[in-house]
Copies of this chain bind each other. A is one copy, B any other.
Amino acid sequence: MNIAFIGLGNMGSPMASNLVKAGHRVTVFDLVESAMQALESEGAGRADSAEAATQGADVVISMLPAGVHVKGLYLGRDDAPGLLETLDASTPSTPNTPNTRPLIIDASTISPEDARTVAAAAAERGFTWLDAPVSGGVGGAKAGALTFIVGGSAEGFEQAKPVLDAMGKNVFHAGDNGAGQVAKICNNMLLGILMSGTAEALALGVKNGMDPAVLSEIMKQSSGGNWALNGYNPWPGVMEGAAAGRDYEGGFLTDLMAKDLGLAWELALGSKSTVPMGSQARNLFALHSAQGNGRLDFSSIQKLYREGE
């Protein structure tokens, strides 16, 4: 398939690379020259603009930092028309074809509201646009083991699935447009709660004489069992390979967790929801970041609970 890939950051580059490996004809565009060169050396084509990259594409995939970039790309900016317009103008060139318009998949993490805005504008012009945020981090992107959480029509999801399978291990259909973003935010809020709760339970046990490895094992096999205990134990030395074992370097950063919990606040404000557990987690990670740990893995929240040892 002809795939246009816009946005070659830490996540986008390995994702595009996996599409090339899967045999697709991939044309990339990014503002960073070196990122395009790297993909070119792996077999991708490159273009001088997003508009050029998407000419003749069956599928357009974007992976951008925030909602403002996604809106700029598709709806246009002061200095450039949006893809929805340029794609529109280019597609009728092959008349008498059932639907030659490319499927559009945005894998960025943005607000559900922004996702719905762009999706609606796309629908008006006859495009299927999907929000498909990922989880799994850079490691997952490289390994082709991402989780995609997709919002949009069932037909669009079916079309997208084979393409996403080349980059991910799990591909979920969350619901209509925006639902991909909502599900990701809810999941990450719960993750923030699990991680801080697990760190808190471990610290409470250790301060009362427990061995952290023994307590971890007991809780993992009991009703306290959760994702953090299974594969991301925050106490140093308990679990091989976990970020805790390398001074919390790398991984999913505290600042990113704080940002995702901020998206949960926005979701809660918009829907007048009560979120006492998620708010608690947000404030803990924000404090932890302010104390200088923003660039450490988020499981370093354990340190906050170990003060005064």
**Interchain CB contact under 8 A, B223 and A188:** yes
**Interchain CB contact under 8 A, A276 and B280:** yes
| A291: interface (CB < 8 Å) | yes
- Taken together as a complex, chains A and B put the C-alpha atoms of A140 and B304 apart, in Å, by 36
For A186, the chain B residues whose CB sits under 8 A away are: 201-202, 204-205, 210, 215, 219, 224
Q: Which residue from B178, B283, B290 sits with its C-beta under 8 Å from A276?
A: B283
A216 CB → nearest B CB, Å: 10
A residues 255-270 with Cβ under 8 Å of B?
A: 258, 262, 264-270
* Binary interface encoding of chain A residues 219-233 relative to chain B, with 1 for a CB under 8 A from any of its CBs, else 0: 101111111001010
**Interchain CB contact under 8 A, B219 and A190:** yes
Task: Say which one of A13-21, A29-37, A191-199 lies at the interface with B.
Answer: A191-199
Find the B residue at minimum CB distance from A272. B286
Find the B residue at minimum CB distance from A137. B223
Q: Which residue from B135, B204, B262, B275 sits with its C-beta under 8 Å from A223?
A: B135
A149 CB → nearest B CB, Å: 6
**Interchain CB contact under 8 A, B170 and A221:** yes
Q: Which residue from B189, B226, B262, B280 sits with its C-beta under 8 Å from A226?
A: B226
**Interchain CB contact under 8 A, B201 and A189:** yes
* Binary interface encoding of chain A residues 118-152 relative to chain B, with 1 for a CB under 8 A from any of its CBs, else 0: 00000000000000000100000000000101000
Contacts A183-B218, A214-B175, A283-B279: A197 and B193 contacting too (C-beta < 8 A)? Answer: yes
Residues of A within 8 A of B (CB): 112, 135, 147, 149, 170, 172-176, 178-179, 182-183, 185-191, 193-194, 196-198, 200-205, 207-211, 214-215, 217-219, 221-227, 230, 232, 258, 262, 264-284, 286-287, 289-292, 304-305, 307-308
13 additional contacts (CB under 8 A) given A149-B222, A190-B224, A268-B286: A174-B218, A178-B208, A178-B209, A182-B210, A186-B205, A186-B210, A204-B267, A208-B270, A226-B226, A265-B269, A276-B276, A277-B281, A290-B307
The 6 A-B residue pairs with the shortest CB-CB distance in the complex, in nearest-first order: A290-B308, A226-B226, A190-B224, A193-B197, A290-B307, A207-B271
> Mind listing 26 A-B residue pairs with CB under 8 Å?
A112-B208, A147-B221, A147-B222, A170-B222, A174-B210, A175-B209, A186-B201, A186-B224, A187-B218, A187-B222, A188-B224, A189-B197, A190-B226, A193-B201, A194-B226, A196-B276, A196-B277, A200-B277, A200-B278, A223-B232, A226-B227, A272-B308, A273-B305, A274-B287, A274-B304, A291-B308
